[in-house]
Structure 1
Amino acid sequence: MDADFESPFMSKMSFLAYRKLREVVDKHDIPIDAPRIVFVGETSTGKSMLVQNFLGFPCTFSQAGVATRCPVAYQLRYNPDVPEYRVIKPSGITPQMLAGRLRDHMKNIEQESKFSKDPYEIELESSFYPDLEILDVPGLIAGNESEDRDAVEKSKLLQL
């Protein structure tokens, strides 16, 4: 690990400990589930921007005037051979294209319906990431129960 190492998730020493643990898990073929962080809150409170700060590169669409219309499930994978960031899913795109792809997906949902329960799945790998799952859900709609709020709260991934 180089002296300039900075992980968006943890200190250099913590990440070094994670990497050593990861080596043991891989060597002995021990199945473990990655920790999961779920970002939940009211509409337009900065959940997606917080996720972007965690990921360490511009990848959200929050400046495009489009709100999160479905859960976005990020699967982060540690890969010591990837020096920066690589998008595994959706396939065929670069990290720089991810924000545009998300924006277009959210615009389509907004035009077809208001929200979707189906998650948009993104898998990223990097030598900077520990194995981690992040779920960014659409903002909760304040006030009385509504169909939109119900769609958000009954998201498939929140039930896991």
Structure 2
Amino acid sequence: HIELDNARDSLTRLLNRRFIHTVLSREIALQKRAGAIGFAILILDLDHFKTVNDSYGHAAGDIALQKVATLMTESVRPSDFVFRYGGEEMLLILVEADANTAMHVAENIRSKVAQTRIQAPGGDSIALTVSIGGALAKGKIDYESVIAEADKALYQAKHAGRNRVMMSA
């Protein structure tokens, strides 16, 4: 396993996005082996995150990010990688994952988040939802195209009403 402990986001304790290249370059190489299953990428976005920040304050937004990060980490295998990808976006690399595995993990995370409420510093209880887009890397030679497919699927999930999972065709 690649040593990435010094590469964590200070708020969420997830891996920093600057190490995505390192991990994905390795996964692209590994999937070239005979019989390799390939990997999947999931991109997750907290729905209406700006509203949480604007209505309840940035501390509530931070709590939301930390909670979702924890739920994500608890929902994947030790061999998988969870990154803070952007403001309210997170990226998962599911190693040796087919479409069923990716969909199961994504739906499990979406469901767990939807069942969770966080306590804002002011005492308000806030419901959270996430949208998730996914793509499979099987047979692909560059990971940028897999990320682009997952991002497109995420956009479709948000456009279709949020709080859902969409996988790239």
TM over 0.5: no
Give the TM-score normalised by the residue count of structure 2. Answer: 0.29
Q: Which has the larger radius of gyration?
A: 1
Structure with the bigger RCO (C-alpha within 8 Å, sep 6+) is: 1
- Normalization by structure 1: what TM-score? 0.30
